[in-house]
Amino acid sequence: MVSAEGLSGSLPTAKQYGVTKPISLAGPTEADIQRSAELEKFLVNAGLYESKEEAEKRQEVLDRIRVIVKEWVKHVTRMRGYLDQMVEDANALIFTFGSYRLGVHGPGADIDTLCVGPTYVNREEDFFFILHDILAQMDEVTELQPVPDAHVPVMKFKFDGISIDLLYASVSQMVVPEDLDISDVSVLYEVDEPTVRSLNGCRVADQILKLVPNIQHFRMTLRCLKFWAKRRGVYSNVTGFLGGVNWALLVARVCQLYPNAVPSMLVSRFFRVYTQWRWPNPVMLCPIEEDVLGFSVWDPRKNPRDRTHHMPIITPAYPCMNSSYNVSTSTLRVMMEQFQYGNKTCEEIELNKAQWSALFEPYMFFESYKNYLQVDIVAADSDDLRSWKGWVESRLRQLTLMIERDTYGKLQCHPYPHEYVDTSKQCAHTAFFMGLQRKQGEKIEEGQQFDIRGTVDEFRHSINMYMFWKPGMEIFVSHVRRKQIPSYVFPEGYRRVRSRASGPHQCDKTPPDDGDGNKHHLKRKKDLEGGDIKREGAEKRMSISPQRRDATSPETVCSNKSTNISSESPTASSNGKKDTRDYSTLAIRTSEGKPRSMEVDEQWQRDEAVEHENNVEGRSSSNSSVVLIPACEVSSYEGVGLEGNGSADGSADGSNNPGSSTGDSCEADSVLSMAGSSEPNASLGIALTSMAGLDPEVQKPVISLTAG
């Protein structure tokens, strides 16, 4: 925590931190010091600081792991046939990195750890087999999960209730000295790239702490912004947003630009700087060190692949890499919008028009779009689900990129980095969601629609290549409308009634009224009365649509229900409610666990509708495979629209270009262009495809891109 003396005792410094001169050397005013104290109080009350007892327990666990790895290395040394003296000298060290090393971890957070061993102890056999077996036999160790094929190979487990992510690096020394300095570039001699990536977690954390002007201020600011990012749904490296090290580097750069600022100032300046940053100009804490050992460093002048990065945030330790290569056009757009939200809120806080709590209002994801993709992941038990979910989640970003590729960027995805569990299912289950919107400013064409069946099939095929697949591991991708979002995603188990007047950037825009409160309703009613004409046109379009493929709903797999079908109508269930789900295709697995195809006829669709309604008692959801994504209903952020470029006004204390040494503005022009003749939130016409006489209310939507 930051003491009052630390807040008020900031003295101007002339030292330059980073690759450019600071924007301002101004220190805090009394109001800034007061706001920092209020911010710290808010963070404490939010439970972001661990207790003294938990901190002591973490230290005990780390000490215990140090003993275990030392004994493990001695055991391997003895197995290799080395002399007794070599066995006695054999050593392994434990280092920490990530939030724990930076000092910003909270209660229940995992500890990122690195084990450094001698050259003859390898990762493939000694670490992932021998050490794994040693840990598996210990009562204190639970949820042991090796991930050898990860970009950075890791072993995950809980030790006495504390979550541990353990990496391994074998350095080119026969005996690892107790005073090994892993910040020295010599540790990278004669090691492979996975080892370099493993070592660099610790090396980067150490460099960050060396490159910031005030570690206390950096820690409190980073703790605040990590909490903000999680509340606003933009904290997840694997999903295409930013992870812990990315946020640390962004905050550290702002600390360099305002070396005498206190945390309340740094939070405000953070949003001011990054709403104006001209991506893809890189964020760097120090000059990029040239290649000295043959490892590739980030350099778009030499590496064509580096030119495709949208939001480069460069690590400060050799070999310098882009830590945010997962960011896509869609996730960058989402983050820029959230930066705008943070900047506007901080301006209100500085004007005493809002409290700090306003900055941390949770993002209302399920109120922000009209259409979503629902990705259901199921497995036979929780252990299988843990590994299966990790595999699927690590590849959800690919689904986003594939959809953008196949729709030429016209359909944008917002992957939400939170998982939801339906406890009513008989099997282990989790679900992820993606918001869908048409590209802002994109002009629509008559009859245009988004057909991503092939995209989803390609994604599912890549997921099913999982080498550790077991029977029961299934994935289902569905298109659901906002009103069909399942109730288990809401904290209270039901959807809140949306008010017409909510906070900024949160909820839906009010439908156009034009002075007559019933006009919008009457227009929709008139459209429905003329639905036969629209359906006739839609039937013609459907005749050239690709053949439907096979998928299934997780209810079918989880409950192992028979595929025998009855003749009940899908338009109503036993409780009288209509089923509005998308019935597209069916895929089931045989007893051998291999997929087989089954034609979907309208009779099965009717029975599945009735069975679903009986099982979930009217809860509306969709778990069938996506066929056609409605283009004209694909909305943008509702209530999160920004005006203009989103460039923020410079501060009175001066500004400079943080990406280069020239210019008067902070590397900034918003990458978003909100202008355009076609507002993505506009009310658009809907045409339903007629399907063998089924009620249009339960059919697959095929929506034309014409304004209604």
Give the active site residues: 99, 110, 112, 165, 226, 235
Dist CA 388 CA 391 (whole Å): 5
Token output for 574: 């036993």
DSSP string, 336-380: HHHHHHHHHHHHHHHTTSS-HHHHTPPP-GGGS-SEEEEEEEEES
Burial group, residue 182, by CB count within 10 angstroms (0-12, 13-18, 19+): buried
Q: At what angle do helices 30-45 and 263-276 cross, to 10 degrees?
A: 90
Q: Where are the alpha helices (DSSP H) in 464-502?
A: none
Burial group, residue 302, by CB count within 10 angstroms (0-12, 13-18, 19+): exposed
> Strand (E) positions, 444-597?
450-451, 474-481, 587-589, 595-597
Phi-psi region of 330 (alpha: psi -120 to 50; beta: other; left: phi over 0): alpha
Token output for 430: 């989790």
Phi and psi at residue 60, to the nearest 5°: -65, -40
What would the 3-class secondary structure string for 6-64 be? HHHCCCCCCCCCCCCCCCCCCCCCHHHHHHHHHHHHHHHHCCCCCCHHHHHHHHHHHHH
Phi-psi region of 2 (alpha: psi -120 to 50; beta: other; left: phi over 0): beta
Token output for 606: 């009717």
Is the distance from CB of 388 to CB of 490 less than 8 angstroms?
no
The closest of 261, 253, 262 to 657, measured between CA atoms, is 253
Torsion on CA atoms 519, 521, 523, 529, rounded to nearest 10: -150
Amino acid of residue 470: K
Dist CA 370 CA 669 (whole Å): 29
